Structure formats: C-alpha cells, structure tokens
Amino acid sequence: MRSVTRVIALVTFMLFLAPSLPARAIPPPQRQLDYLASQLTQRSRDLLERLYGRYQQGPLGQRQLEGLYRAQMLFAASELFERMARENRSEGELRAAINFVRQQALFDAEWRDVRVAIDNAAREIQRGGGGGNLGGGLNPGGGSGLATGRLRWFGRVDENIYLFVRGASTRIELVSGQPTVNERFNFTSPLPRRLVTVQVRKLRGRANIQVIQQPTDTNDFTAVLQITDSGSGATDTEFEMTWSPTVIPR
C-alpha cells in the first residue's frame, strides 16, 4: 500500500511539472537508463510491427516465422526491462534482464537498430554499476570447467565489432570504426554443434572482449563475441576462447 502511495505521489508530481518542461527535453543523467530502456522498447515495437505486417500480407517461410516469434519475445522482454529500470531494480537484476533481452536479438541486418539499443542500455548499466562483465549471457547451465576445444584469435580492432564463431570459421561484423585488419586465428577443434559454454581470456591489447551469445540451437550453435576499444586509433587484440560441455542443473 505504501509503494502504491509513493507511485501516485510521483505521478502527481510529474503531471504538475510537465507544463514547465521544454518540448524536446533531454533526459537528465540520473535517468539516462530509463531513456535508453524506452528507446529499446520503441525499437523492439517497431521491429515487431514491421515483421507482423509482412505476416499479414502472406505466408512466411520457417526462418521468417521464427524471426517473428523472436521479435514478439524481444518486445515483451524489452517492456519488462524498461519497467525494471524505472523501478530502480538492483544492478544484478538489470544485468540479468538485459542479457536475456540480448539473447532474443537475431543478428540479421534488420535487427541492427535493436542490437544498438541493447548495447547502449548494457553499457549504461555497466557504467553505473562498477564495470562487471555483462557478456556471459543467460545460459542453460554452467561449463564443466574442463576445456574440450580452443580458439586463438588475433586482429587489429578499431572501436566496436561483433565476432561470430561457428564450427571452424569466424566472421566479423563492423559496428563502428575502421575495418579490422591482420586477422588470423587457429582452432584446436571446431566449435561443436551441441550445447557448450564458451569463455574468453584476453592475451594482448586494451580492448574489452565479451561473450554476448552462447552457442545454442536457436543461433545455429554460434558463439557471438563483442570486442570494443574506446581508445584512440586501432589496437592489436589477441584472445583465447575455450569451450566446455554445458552442465544442465537438475
């Protein structure tokens, strides 16, 4: 009852304050996460409406239909994340929530705006919460600890890239900055087409490396890493990615 009273008081205050606000007010820094969360919800809604509009025009292929279902889950998860942000939930809850939202996002070109919005919200949580790792994602379980395969990767990275690892191949998607050069990599064995938990260990460079999607059947058993460098100019980056069987809790 007390919490309801506080909410009513807050709404009343905002209604009183609203006429004095400029039409295009910039959100104050302390509410930046609220703003970013609302942007994420809006972009998720726009994506869902576009995909559903195509569905209404005629039958979709299996992949397109799966994308529509994922977009619906993404929108629902984004709405809940926005609500949690506005309720000032704990840092741990917000990290878990944005990681779940991230797991719903496909890496098709049409989903790019949504992925950017997710990254913006994740960075804001990390900036205000002491810089813990957001990259592990929500996994069905943890790794067994015994590595069964290894990838060693080197490249010169500028600003922000996604690195997709599937089987014995890698693919780079440039988010911002200059294209990655001097890429080379070596697998001890291909990333298997079964549930494994991947981990990364940086060997060289100033860039930040995070696992943002674990390999599952929903992403065709692809590990997705994000490499970001906020320094000036490109930097040599080297890391080791290992994987071990995923332990499903009983």
- In whole angstroms, what is the distance from residue 123 CA to residue 97 CA? 13
Q: How much is the pLDDT for 249? A: 52
Classify residue 220 as left (phi > 0), alpha (psi -120 to 50) or beta: left
The two three-digit tokens of residue 155, written as one number: 């490249």
- In whole angstroms, what is the distance from residue 143 CA to residue 214 CA? 11
The identity of residue 249, as a single letter, is: P
Q: What is the pTM of this model?
A: 0.55
Q: How much is the pLDDT for 236? A: 94
User: Where in the chain is CATH 1.20.1270?
Assistant: 31-128
- In whole angstroms, what is the distance from residue 54 CA to residue 24 CA? 33
What's 31-128's CATH class?
mainly alpha
Task: Give the other-Cβ count within 10 Å of 79's Cβ.
Answer: 16
Q: Is 56 exposed, middle or buried (0-12, 13-18, 19+ CB in 10 A)?
A: exposed
pLDDT along the chain (250 residues), means of 10: 43 41 40 87 92 87 86 93 90 88 84 87 72 39 66 94 93 92 93 91 92 84 91 91 76
- In whole angstroms, what is the distance from residue 188 CA to residue 151 CA? 7
Contact 242, 198 (CB under 8 A): yes
- Give the DSSP letter of residue 243: E
Q: How much is the pLDDT for 248? A: 57
- In whole angstroms, what is the distance from residue 176 CA to residue 173 CA? 9
